[in-house]
Structure formats: C-alpha cells, structure tokens
Amino acid sequence: MGTVATVVLALALIATYLTWTASRMDRLHARTDAARAALDAQLVRRAATALEVAASHGIEPLRAAASAGYHSEQDARAAAETALSEAMRSVSLDEESATALAEAGRRVVLARTFYNDAVRDTVAFRQRRVVRALRLVGHAPEPEPFEIDDTPPLDTPLADTPPIRDAPVSPRVVT
C-alpha cells in the first residue's frame, strides 16, 4: 500500500508542477499581450501629439512622419516610428510643444521597455526543456521585441533626465 501511495503522490506532484508551468506560460503570454497593447497606445498617443504640434506650427515633415506612424500597419510600424523619432529630433519648437513631444516620447520609452522585458521573460520561459518537450506553448506565436530609435531631442526640457535603457538592470529570475 505504501508503494501505491508514493506513486499517487508522485503523479499528483508532477501534475501540479505541469499545471503550474502551463498556467505560468499562459500568464506570461497575457502579460506580453497587455504590454504590447500599452505600447501601441503610447505610440498612437505620441503620433497624435506630434500631429497636433505639426498642425499648430505648420511643420509638414513632422506631420507626414506622424501621420505615417499613426496609420502604419504592424509590419511597418518600427520603421514608421523611427522616422517619427527622427522627425521629432529635427524640428525646433517652443518650450511647451517640445515638452509635450518629450513627455509622449518618454512614455513610449517606458512602454517599450516594459514590452521588451515581457518578451524576454516569455521567450526565456518558452525555452525551458519541459515547456518545449510537452509543447505547453500551444499555438501561440513567439513574441518579438520591438526596437525603434526613440532617442529624445537634446534640446528638450526632459533631455537632461537619464535615459531609461541606461538605468541599472536588476537580475531577474524567471520562475
């Protein structure tokens, strides 16, 4: 009877571990999806702010880049957003408009950082041997990091604050 109880206990522990692992994988994908939605919202907000500034100051290159960023599809989004960043850096604005663009850009940097952290954690967990062997990922596509040039202009009021990506990185343990 002791052997049967040991086997049942071992199977229960294995089932509990596999259930926990599958739910963790699901939570990581949900976190990545939520971070992507937040990033998309901040990119749209930055493009809308740039469109507003471009319209009020009559700056056609900024308007064109902001419109392209605002209406871009997912495949061309990174290139359009990088072009918008370059256009934002190339214009000279009054302090109020520059601050509005800098704040919107700062939010994009934060949202992109959160998204790329979620992608890193999800990809690391997907590479675990148990997850791959038992195909716990299902049909979910592997998330891709979102890389754009979002360096703020040097003459903006927020340019003297340290960039987020140069902040010290704390070690993370993906469980």
Q: Rg for the chain (alpha carbons), in Å? A: 22
Which candidate, 170, 171, 169, 153, places its Cα nearest to that of 161?
153
The pLDDT tens digits of the residues spanning 79-126 come to: 999 999 999 988 888 889 888 999 999 999 999 999 999 999 999 999
Binning pLDDT at 50, 70 and 90, where does residue 161 land?
Answer: low
Binning pLDDT at 50, 70 and 90, where does residue 137 land?
Answer: confident
* Residue 175 resides in a domain: no
Which candidate, 161, 132, 165, 169, places its Cα nearest to that of 148?
165
- Please give the average per-residue pLDDT across 154-167, as a whole number: 54
The tokens of 15 are what?
Answer: 């089932």
* Residue 174 resides in a domain: no
8 A C-beta contact, residue 138 and residue 121: no
In the prediction, which pLDDT does 151 show?
Answer: 81
Binning pLDDT at 50, 70 and 90, where does residue 175 land?
Answer: very low
Instruction: Give how many domains the chain has, as a whole number.
Output: 1
Please give the backbone phi and psi of residue 143, each rounded to the nearest 5 degrees, phi first: -70, 150
* Residue 20 resides in a domain: yes
Q: Which domain holds residue 148?
A: 2-165
* Residue 116 resides in a domain: yes
Does residue 15 surpass a pLDDT of 50? yes
* Residue 109 resides in a domain: yes
* Residue 151 resides in a domain: yes
0.85 exceeded by pTM: no
8 A C-beta contact, residue 43 and residue 77: yes
The pLDDT tens digits of the residues spanning 25-70 come to: 999 999 999 999 999 999 999 999 999 999 998 899 989 999 998 8
